[in-house]
Amino acid sequence: MSNGSESTVALVWLVIVIMGGMWLFDSEILNRGWQALKNSTSYGSVLMADKPHDCDFLTAPIGKKNCDYDKVVTKVKWWWTDDVSKRSLDDGKTWEVRVPGTCDYDTSSFHCRDATDPRIGEVPTTPTTTGVYINWQREKD
């Protein structure tokens, strides 16, 4: 084999080992990257909560705790229809009227844009995933 092909094979193996390690340890980079790719959105529009550690073996009291957390993925979709912008947090099953960049809890014009909101005036005309939230839910015992 030539030196160039040996280095290519070594690089491919290095990438495989790194990706395998990231998958094995449930990497945030891998999860966010996969959800961004899967939902055709940007990496910055995928927000991931820290995984709780209260079920880990070494958390007090030390030992097996018979619990675990499941990953819960919520897609945020936006759609402009009938001169109204709408948002869905359940993959388009239900829609709520909402102006992007405005807070649900504040009736003033205070803006609290998050990474999943399209810019005001840029809401898509077809249901489009603009962001993804990755949270953790404790499994029922």
pLDDT tens-digit series, residues 93-113 = 999 998 888 776 654 544 566
Q: Residue 1 pLDDT > 60, yes or no?
A: no
Q: What is the pTM of this model?
A: 0.67
Strands 46-48 and 128-138: parallel
Rg from Cα positions in the chain = 21
Segment 26-50 mean pLDDT: 87
pLDDT tens-digit series, residues 56-65 = 666 666 766 6
- For the chain, the domains span 3-138
